A and B are shown apart, each in its own frame.
Chain A
Amino acid sequence: MIAATFQLDYASASGVAHSAGFCLDVDLRLPEKGVTALFGHSGSGKTTLLRCVAGLNRAPKGRLSVASEVWQDEARGIFLPTHKRPLGLVFQEASLFPHLSVRKNLEYGMKRSGNKAGEGFDASIDLLGIRPLLERAPEGLSGGERQRVAVARALLTRPRLLLMDEPLAALDLKRKQEILPYLEKLREELDIPMLYVSHAPDEVARLADHLVLLENGQVVASGPLMATLARADLPPAFAEDAGVVLEATVAAHESDGLTRLEFPGGQLYVSCRDKPLGSRLRCRIHTSDVSLALAAHGDSSILNTLPATVQTIVATDTPGHVLAQLALSDGTLLLARITERSRAALGITPGLAVIAQVKSVALFA
């Protein structure tokens, strides 16, 4: 487990771009496996939290332990400086040393972390597809290539914790699409925990296993990704990005061009011919793409209909709209954003059996 407790106000955080009065106050228990996304809007303190974990900022009342190792415990006067923490760090912008070749950049951390033999060198550069770049200078690389080198450089120090501070934020959409598959591969092959700071819901939905939502320096939710995204009680600030994530298996490519995905709560028809049968993929269903009907009729063009039971209904901060949380037969939760008028007209209340109509499904490889 990673246990992190930090209290830090603006005055003591050098190099942090926050207005006066900002204060980080978190107490987190994070899993030791998988990707934990620190999600929040700008100014929510997610980067400051990451810098505290890295030891780049020192919270006066901080405690941090990773597995059984204590990295910081101010009560006992313990604070490991960054260079003594076995972590890997990837920043938002390309941070390769411009005076060193790609290979020398990779070797910089290897040499200093006792990995002189280059353990994992071939695996890392192949995982990130940077073998052809080794002798190049960072100057000549694209933004996506630089970030891949930066990730490999961090991995080659054999870290026990990998930290990523919005590694895709400075890239354009095309570059993002180019690098995301590498990060997904990394998630599958990595056996150390990763903290991933992001303000992009899509990246979080694709990569994260665990989700921490931050607002004004406070943790507003922390838990497994899918369960946390399906919560109906998240603060209004996150309503814009709300939507659940499902993990499904490619079951069949049907003759009319559609592909059938199966998940424990039902099945969905989507368009993805290129995925082999049996492969697992994540899909995201936005709250405003789910509508409700009382009965299944065949007179709608909406193909994906899932029988569900209404769990709770809460108000949203959009006038006239409510958020309904639905449970599918296996307990999988969906969120639907509907108007209060429709809710009243259909008499939708908790406990009612309804049909959830899913208008669109976003697929992540």
Chain B
Amino acid sequence: MADLIDYLQFVLAPQALNGLSLGVAVVLMALGLTIIFGLLDVINMAHGEFYAMGAFLSLTLAGLGVGFWALLVLVPLLMLPIGWLAERWLIARVFHSRDRHILTLLLTFGLGMILEDLLKLIYGPNTLRPENPIEGGTEILGMFLPNYRLFLIGFGLALIAAVWLVVFRTGLGAMVRAAAFDKDMASSLGVPVRRVYAGTFAFGVALAGLAGVLLAPIYSVFPTMGRDFILMAFTVVIVGGMGSIQGAVIAGLLLTQVQALSSLYISPVWSDPLVFGIMVLVLMVRPQGLFGRLGHA
């Protein structure tokens, strides 16, 4: 019995908490992806590069003497116009074509490629390691936890709650949901649909950038850092239901737990195939995911 408690306390619980800190970050990424898909039907293949961009921006700004707390505000603000322009210049161009699903996917794929190479050009291919903004650790129930991870969990959860509030409890969110449900009707009721599209895309991009700022101190920063992470975020969005907010949250927390806990029993190198296997299975059995999409639930 004592063995079991020890096992829970010293093996399972720390791993679960690690998974949780990764989970909230994945959810932040997935929220951007899923909102963009729910509203615009766009699979944003460049989302991982926007995340990397956020991380690199935070490094540059920190080098200029901007504090960590200011970065949390400044980087998303800087990402907003980038996302806005990406929507207006690229997505909007092919939005009314018959194959827009495929065309927007291809466009964002090309954009991601360019952004990744630009980051390589500017910062070099090497791995950079930013300083940990919140040093030290706290002992909870005999487990030692880095303070930064605790902060990440708390801040992430607060942010997820804030996104939920904005989408479901404000006039702005109502406009977004209305445009997602029926863009023509929303437009005739006075919703500026085009601006809502660009704004939503920019919002998703800003969230990705923020995730980059938050994760930079834990994982190192390098130009291709978005690649592995985006795959997880895609899986989360698919399992949760493309365009579903609660789906992204639940699937994000669940899948990162699966990944974290499974790495106790199988070699961590197999956790990727496992997660992708889950993605393929969900796509086969229930392609619409666990929950309904934005504006339709």
**A and B from one assembly?**
no
Residues of A within 8 A of B (CB): none
